[in-house]
Structure 1
Amino acid sequence: MPSYTVTIATGSQWFAGTDDYIYITLMGTEQCSERTLLDKPLYNDFERGAVDSYDVTVGEHLGEIVLVKIEKKKYWVQDDWYCRYITVKTPTGDYVEFPCFRWLVDNKEVVLRDGRARLPQDDKTRLVKQHRQKELETRRKTYRWKEWQPGIPMSIDASRHKDLPRDIQFDSEKGVDFVLNYSKAIENLFVNQFMHMFQSSWSDFADFERIFVRIKNTISEYVMQHWKEDFMFGYQYLNGCNPVVIQKCTKLPDKFPVTHEMVAVCLERELTLEQEIEAGNIYIADYEVLDGISPNCTDPCTLQYLAAPICLLYKNAQNKILPLAIQLGQTPGEDNPIFLPSDGQYDWLLAKIWVRSADFQQHQTVTHLLRTHLMTEVFGIAMYRQLPAVHPVYKLLIPHIRFTIAINTKAREQLICECGIFDKANATGGGGHVQLIQKAVKSLTFRSLCFPDGIKARGVDNKEELPTYFYRDDGNRVWEATKSFASDVVRIYYSSDEMVQGDEEIQAFVKDVCSFGMQDFDHCEFPKSLKSREELTEYLTVVIFTASAQHAAVNFGQLYLGMYPDEHFIEKPVKEAMETFRKQLAEITSTIKRRNEGKKLPYYNMSPDMIPNSVAV
C-alpha cells in the first residue's frame, strides 16, 4: 500500500509546542487520505523546536498532493501550537513543501497550499480555487477595518492586544523583550535614583547630564558637549531623527519677513540674502502643521505650550547648515519677533530650543507614528484581507508586516489613548496629537512615500549642494536595492503588464488600501489599480521601504533588513533574488562604514545592518 512520509516542524519560540492531538489529511488531485492521528507511542510529539516524521499509509495513490489539512483537538486543556512547515515525501520520492508559520488555537484546523507561489489566474482546478476563496473569506472576517479617530488612516478592529488574531500577536519572547528592555533602560538611566526628576519640571540643563551618566558613547558625549552650538542644531536637520523637514528656500514666504540687513553679519560669501537664495544656499524648516494645535493641559494649573516656528537655514562656505533666523509663530508681528544669532546668547538658545521642541512633536506624531507605523498597518491589514498565503506578494510582504499591527494596537491601548502616556507627558497630549495627525494626513500622498520623490519635492536632491546629507544618500541606495529586489520578484511571477492587470487579488489589495485604509481622503492620491509591472514594483518598494528603512531612520533597528527566517518562498529564482538583495545591502553597509570612519558624528540610521525588517517597536 502506498505510504507518504509527513514531516512537521514545530516553532522554536516559547510555548510553541503542544500536547493536544494533531491530525492530518492529505488532499490530492485524485483523492484524499483518511484523517490520520499523528502520534508516536512512548514519544512526546510536537515539542518546541522539534521536527517529527510520520508515515501515512493510503489505499491508493492520491495523485499530486496540493493541500494538507491539519487539525488540533484538545487533549486535556487547550494548548496552542505553532507549526512552521510540513513536508510530504510521496511514494515516488518527490518532496512537497507546505509553509505554515502560524498558530493553531482551540480546536482549529488549517488547510495549507504547497509552497509554490501562484497568482489567482494560475489556479485551474476547483479544489484550489475554492481553498483560495475560502481563505480570503475567513481573513476578511478576522481582519476588519476600524476607525480609531475620524480623519486618520483606518486601523485594525481590536481594542486590545489580546483581542488580535493569535497569528499577529507578539510572541512570548517579544513581550518579555519589552519588560527586559524597559528594565535595562531604567538601569542604564539610573532612574531609580532620580525618579523624582520625571515627576516634576526640570530647572537645570545639568539634569540631562545626571540622567545620562550611565550611558557613554562617543556620539552622545559629543552631542552633550556641542548641543548649544549652531552647527549641531543645523546638522540635525540633515541626519537627526527627523531629517524630512528641511527644504530648499526658493523664495521667502510673506509670513516670514526676514531681510538682508537682519542676517548680513552671518553671510560669508559677500552676497545678499536674495543672491544666497538664488545660489541655492538658503533652506527653510516650516512647522506650519503645528499651528492651531491644542496644547496639553495635564491639570487646571499646568498648561503646556506649543510653537509653530519657521526656521531659516544657511549653508556656509564649509557646507555646514546653520540657523539664520527663527520666528516662533506663523503670523508676523510685534508679539512674534524674528530671533537672530546676533541676539543675546540665551534669547537665541531659547528660540532654538522651541524649534527643537516643535521638531520633536512633528517627528513623533507625523514622521514616526503616522508615516511609518500607521501606514504600514494600513498596508498590512489590506494584505491580510486581499492576498492569500499562496500569493507571491503576500510571501514578499509578510516579513515586513511582522508585529506592526500588534505594536500599533498596544500604542492605541497604552500610549496615544485617552489618559495614556501621551496625555501625561507630551505637549500635544490631551487630543492635540490626534489633531496633528488629522492635519498631517492632508499632505500625506502616495508620492510622498516614494523616497526619491519626497527628497526631490523638498529640493534637497542635489548632492553637490548638500554633500553631508547622509540620510538622503544612504536612503537612495537602500531604496534602489529594495526596488531592484522587488522588480526581480515581480518579473519572476508576472511575465507581462497584462498579468498585473489581470491579477484580481493585487488589484483588490491596492484598492482596499486607498478606499478603506485611506478612506478615499481628498488629495491622498493613492492608486486604486495598477497597470504595469513597473507600477507594482514601485508600490511594493514603498511598502517595504516604509516598513523597514524609513522607520529605521526615525527610530532604530532590530532584525536586519534582507533576513527572512521564515521561508515563505520555496522557488529557487526567488531565493537567488534574495541572495542578490543581501549582497547589495552588504555592499551598502560596507560603503557606509568606510564613509563613517573617523567621523565625530557618524550616520548609521540607514545602514542596512541597522535596519529592521518591519515596524515592530
Structure 2
Amino acid sequence: MSVVLKCISYIRSRSLQHRQFQAFLKEIESAYGDGLYFTEARWLSRGNVLRRFFELRAEVKKLMEDDRMDVPEFDDPKWVMDLAFLVDITQELNILNLKLQGPGQLITAAYESVKAFSTKLRLWKSQLSAKNLSHFTTCRSLVEEGTSFSGDEYVSAIENLLQEFDQHFADFKAHRDTFQLFTDPFSADVESVPSLLQMELMELQSNSELKTKFKTKRLNYVQSVYRPSEGTSGVTMNLLSAWIQWHRGFPQSIDAKLDELPLDVRFDEEKDSNFTGDFRRAFVSSSLDSFKGHFESWKEIADFEKIFGNYNLKNTLLENVIQDWNTDYMFGYQFLNGCNPVMIRKCKELPDKFPVTHEMVEGCLQRGLTLQEELKAGNIYIADYEILEGVPANKTHPDTPYYLTAPICLLYNNRLNQIVPIAIQLSQHSGETSPIFLPNDDEHDWMLAKMWVKSSDFNVHQLVTHLLKTHLISEVFEMAMYRQLSAVHPVYKLLIPHVRFTIAINAEARERLISEDGVISRISSVSGPGIEEVMKRAMETFTYKSLCFPEAIKARGMEDAPKYHYRDDGMKVWEAINCFVSDVVKIYYDSDETVQKDVEIQKFVKDVSFGMNDSDNFPKSLKTQVELAEYLTAVIFTASAQHSALNFGQFEWYGWIPNSPSTMRKPPPQQKGQVDLEYIMDSLPDRDCSSEVLGTVWSLTRFQRNEV
C-alpha cells in the first residue's frame, strides 16, 4: 500500500501532473479518467483504489518515469503479484464490510456473514496451496500473462487472516448456540440451551403446525420482535449493546455486568491487571495494620499523617496541601484549580436564602467598597451545594452515623487576586439554627465550617462532576458509537481512542465503587437512595452546552477570574481539539448537506440523546459541519482532557483527609462558639475510613502503562 499511496499522492499533490495524468488517460481512451482519491482514513475505498491502480499500473509507471520518479517495484514480478493478491482479498473484505453495515442489521445476520467468510478463507487456503486461482481473478490474470505464482506465502497470509477473525469475533462463537436458537429454534440442539428452556423447546420442535408457520413467517416475526420501529427509541437493537438504566436517575448504560461484557469493550489483559493491582497495592501501602483502633477518631490533626505509610510525599503537591490546607487562600484556590473547579461562579446578586450583610464581611473587603459595590465590580463569587439539600445521608454504618448538608460559600477576590472565603452557611435556609460563619469567628468554628464545605464538595465531585459528567456520559457516547457507527466510519475511528475502556471501567465502578457495598458507600456521606437522588437532580439540569468548555466557563461568569489555570489550560486544549476535529470533518464532509445526509451520524446523535434518558437538553440531529465539529470536540474533550483535570489530582487534594473529608460523623453546628478541636476530630472520618479514602484516591489516579 505504501507504494500505491506514494504514487497517487504524487499525482494528486501537483496540479500540473494531475492534469497531465487525466489527459494521458484520455489519449489512450481509458475508461477511468482519474485515480480514485484515497487516504488511510477514508473507508470503503481501499479495495477500489487497489483495483484501479493495478489496472492502470502501466500508465502510472510511464507517468512516474517521465517525471523522473523512480518506482522500481513496478519491475518486480513478485511485488506485482503481491499487489494482485491484495486486490483480490480486499475486494472480498469490502463485500463483507458492506454486509455488516447499514441500519436494521441483526446480530444473527452479521454472525452468518462472518461465519461464511471464515469458511471462504479456509477454502481459499486449500485452493492456494494447490495453486488453484479460481477465486483470485487478478492473480490468475498475471499467471496467464506468464508471471510465476507460489502459493505458500499467500497461504500464510490467509492463515493470519483466519487467526485475526477468530480473535476479533470470539464473542460470536461464544454466542453461537444463542444465535441458533434465535434464528431457527426448530433446528437448535436441545442439550445446548439452558435447562429452563429445554422442555419448552422440545414441545415447540414437536409441533409441526408451528414449524410450518415459522418457515413461512420467520422473517417478518424476527423483524417485528427485534427491530423497534422508528417511533419507539429510534435505535436498532443490538444483542451485544442494549441500553439499560442501572438505577433510577442514572443515564443509560450497557445492559451487561462486568463478566458479561463483549470482548471488544473489555480491558485488555495488561490494563485489567494494572487496574485491579492498583487497588490491592493501595490498601497494602496504607499501613492500616500499623496502628490499633481502626474505627476510633484521631486525636490530633497531625495524626492523619500516620496513614501515609510507604507513600513518598517529598516535593509533591500533597506535601504543600498538608502544610497550607487550613489557610483561607488554599481553601479558595481549590475552587479554581482543585479537583472540582466547576462549582464556583461569579455572584452578581446574593440569593435571599443567604442573607450576608456588608457589616458581616466589611473586615474582609480590601478595596474600601461596600459589599454591593464589590458585587457590581465582579469581585464576589459563590459556591452553592443546593443539589445536596434533603438528600438522605449514608445509613449503611449502623454504629457510625454519617451526616450531609448543603452549604453555601461566599468568596472574594482580594487585592492580591486571591480567591478567599468570607462567609459560609451550612444549609440552604437561614435562621437561628443556621448561622453564617465568618473568618473572624472562633478559629474552630471557621475551621469546621470550611471542612463542611469541602466535605460537600467531595461528594458532589465524586458523584456529579467526576462520575456522571465524565464517566457515565462518556459511556453513553461509546455505546451510541458502537450501536450506530460502523467500525470503518471515520467518526468511529476518531472517537475510539478517547472513549476506549469507558464501558469496562464503568462496569467495574458499578460493581466495586457505587454498589450497595461499594467503596463510595463505605467512605462517603451518600449511598444507595442518596446517590440515585443526586443523579436524578443532576440529570434534570444537565445540558449538552455544559459539555462545551467555552460555553460552560461563560455560563458561570468565570471568563476573567484571576489565576484560573483550569480555565486557561482548558481553553487551549479545547481549541486544539476543535481545530483538529474541524479539519477532519472538512475532509469527509464537504458541505452541511453531507452532514445531514450521513444516516449513521444522525442516528448516533439521536442515540446519544436517548442514552441521556431522551433528554431535550441534548440535540437529536446535527445540521452543519460546525455543529458536528463542536459535538465531536465535546465528546473527545469530556472523555480525555476534562476527565484528566477532574480525576488525576485526587490523591494530592483528597489524600490529606482534613482538607476534603469524605464524610462527617457529627451534625453541622447550629450555633457559634460550641465547637472545639475534640468535636472536630470526632466529626472527621475515623482511622479505617481515612485509610480507605487514601487507598481509593491513590488507585484512581494511577496511569496505566499503555495509557497516554
**Same fold flag (TM > 0.5):** yes
- Other-structure match for 2:648: 556
Q: 1:249 to 1:57 in 2, by over 3 A?
A: farther
Uncovered stretches (5+) of structure 2, i.e. residues with no partner? 1-77, 97-116, 140-152, 156-160, 176-226, 228-233, 650-700
Change in 2 beyond 3 A, CA 1:106/1:381: closer
Q: Equivalent residues in 2 for 1:415-564 (5 A)?
A: 415-462=513-560, 466-514=561-609, 516-521=610-615, 524-556=616-648
**Which of the pair has the greater relative contact order for Cα pairs under 8 Å at 6+ separation?**
2
Gaps of 5+ in 1: 9-22, 42-53, 66-87, 91-95, 111-133, 558-609
Residues of 2 paired with 1:38 and 1:207: CA distance? 72
434, 437, 451: which is aligned to 1:339?
437
Matched, 1:104 2:169: yes
Structure 2 letter corresponding to 1:396: L
User: Is 1:168 aligned to 2:274, yes or no?
Assistant: no
Post-superposition Cα deviations, 1:57-112, rounded to whole Å, max 9, x if no partner, equal 552464689xxxxxxxxxxxxxxxxxxxxxx999xxxxx9x9989633267499xx
Q: Structure 1 residue 141: deviation in Å? A: 2.2
Match of 1:412 among 506, 510, 522: 510
Match of 2:461 in 1: 363
RMSD, aligned CA: 3.9
- The equivalent position to 1:253 in structure 2, one of 339, 351, 354, is 351
Does the 8 Å CA contact 2:244/2:255 hold for their aligned counterparts? yes
Distance 1:412 1:59 in 2: 53
Q: Shift of residue 152 of structure 1? A: 2.3
SS at structure 2 position matched to 1:285: strand
With over 3 angstroms needed to count, the CA separation of the structure-2 counterparts of 1:336 and 1:7, relative to structure 1, is farther
- SS of the residue corresponding to residue 256 of structure 1 reads coil
User: Is 1:145 matched up with 2:145?
Assistant: no
Query: Matched residues in 2 for 1:406 and 1:59: separation?
Result: 44
Bigger radius of gyration among the two:
2
- Distance between the aligned counterparts of 2:137 and 2:248, measured in 1? 53
Which residue identity does 1:458 align to in structure 2?
Answer: R
Is the 8 Å Cα contact of residues 329 and 336 (structure 1) preserved in structure 2?
yes
- DSSP-derived class of the 1:208 partner: helix
Matched, 1:239 2:239: no
Partners of 2:266 and 2:85 lie apart in 1 by 26
- Between 168-177 and 469-478, the greater mean CA deviation after superposition: 168-177
Are residue 291 (structure 1) and residue 291 (structure 2) matched? no
Task: Return the offset for 1:266.
Answer: 0.9
Q: 1:259 to 1:104 in 2, by over 3 A?
A: same
Distance in 2, matches of 1:469 and 1:101, equals: 51
Structure 1 partner of 2:120: 35
2-structure distance, mates of 1:371, 1:433 = 14
| 1:553 counterpart letter in structure 2 | A
Larger relative strand fraction: 1
Question: Secondary structure of the equivalent of 2:423?
Answer: strand
Q: 1:419 to 1:189 in 2, by over 3 A?
A: closer
Runs of 4+ residues over 6 Å off in structure 1: 5-8, 38-41, 98-102, 136-139, 610-613
Distance apart, 1:252 and its partner CA: 0.5
Q: How far is 1:299 from its partner?
A: 3.8
Aligned in 2, Cα 1:107/1:477: closer, same or farther, shift over 3 Å? closer
Partner Cα separation in structure 1 for residue 118 and residue 372 of structure 2: 81
Counterpart mapping for 1:22-421 below 5 A: 26=92, 35-37=120-122, 58-60=132-134, 62=136, 103-105=168-170, 108=173, 140-158=238-256, 160-194=257-291, 197=294, 199-213=295-309, 214-218=311-315, 219-421=317-519
- Classify the secondary structure of the residue corresponding to 1:473: helix
Is the Cα contact below 8 Å between 1:283 and 1:314 reproduced in 2? yes
Deviation at 1:300, TM superposition (A): 3.7
Report deviation, 1:34. Answer: 7.8
Residues 1:509 and 1:481: Cα distance change in structure 2 (over 3 Å): same
State which drifts further: 441-450 or 409-418: 409-418
CA distance in structure 2 between the partners assigned to 1:303 and 1:172 by the alignment: 40
Taking a change above 3 Å as real, the CA distance of residues 380 and 611 of structure 1, as seen in their structure-2 partners, is: farther
Q: In structure 2, what residue type is equivalent to 1:518?
A: M
For residues 233-261 of structure 1, what are the alpha-carbon distances to aligned partners after superposition, in whole Å with 9 as ceiling and x for unaligned?
00000000000000000001100000000
- Residues 556 and 611, structure 1, Cα contact 8 Å, conserved in 2: yes
3-state DSSP class of the match of 1:283?
Answer: strand
Aligned to 2:107: none
- The CA distance in 1 between the partners of 2:286 and 2:633, in whole Å, is 38
Structure 1: distance between partners of 2:611 and 2:629: 20
- Counterpart-to-counterpart distance in 1, 2:396 and 2:634: 38
Post-superposition Cα deviations, 1:447-496, rounded to whole Å, max 9, x if no partner, equal 0111110100000012xxx2310000000000000101111111110011
CA shift in 2, pair 1:253/1:64, >3 Å:
farther
- Identical amino acids, percent of aligned pairs: 52
Does structure 2 conserve the Cα–Cα contact (< 8 Å) formed by 1:4 and 1:56? Answer: no
8 Å Cα contact 1:26-1:33 kept in structure 2: no
CA shift digits 1:28-55 (9 cap, x unpaired)? 779x9983449999xxxxxxxxxxxx98
Q: How far is the alpha carbon of 1:308 from its aligned partner? A: 0.3
Q: 1:224 to 1:29 in 2, by over 3 A?
A: closer
Give SS of 1:142's match. Answer: coil
Contact conserved, 2:570 with 2:641, CA < 8 A, in 1?
A: yes
Aligned-partner Cα distance in 2 for 1:611–1:485: 28
Distance 1:263 1:183 in 2: 48
Change (3 A) 1:101 1:424: farther
> Which of the pair is proportionally richer in helix?
2
The Cα shift of 1:318 comes to 0.4
TM-score for the superposition, normalised by structure 1: 0.71
Query: Contact 1:33–1:62 at 8 Å: present in 2 too?
Result: no
- What SS does structure 1 have at the residue aligned with 2:396? strand
Deviations 1:496-539 (A, max 9, x none): 1100000011000000111x201223xx5110000000000000
Q: Which amino acid aligns with 2:600?
A: E
Distance 1:105 1:334, change over 3 A: same
Q: In 1, are the aligned partners of 2:118 and 2:165 still within 8 Å (CA)? A: no
Shift of 1:221: 1.3
Q: SS at 1:211's partner residue?
A: helix
Letter in 1 for 2:133: G
Q: Measure how far apart 1:220 and its partner are.
A: 1.4
User: How much does 1:297 deviate?
Assistant: 1.2
2:278–2:702: 8 Å Cα contact kept in structure 1?
no
Q: 1:468 to 1:265 in 2, by over 3 A?
A: same
Structure 2 letter corresponding to 1:497: D
Report the alpha carbon displacement of residue 140 of structure 1 after superposing the two structures with TM: 1.9
Q: By how many angstroms is 1:356 displaced?
A: 0.3
Distance 1:3 1:288, change over 3 A: same
Q: Secondary structure at the match of 2:496?
A: helix
Paired residues of 1:287 and 1:359 also in contact (CA < 8 A): yes
Query: TM-score, structure 2 length as denominator?
Result: 0.62
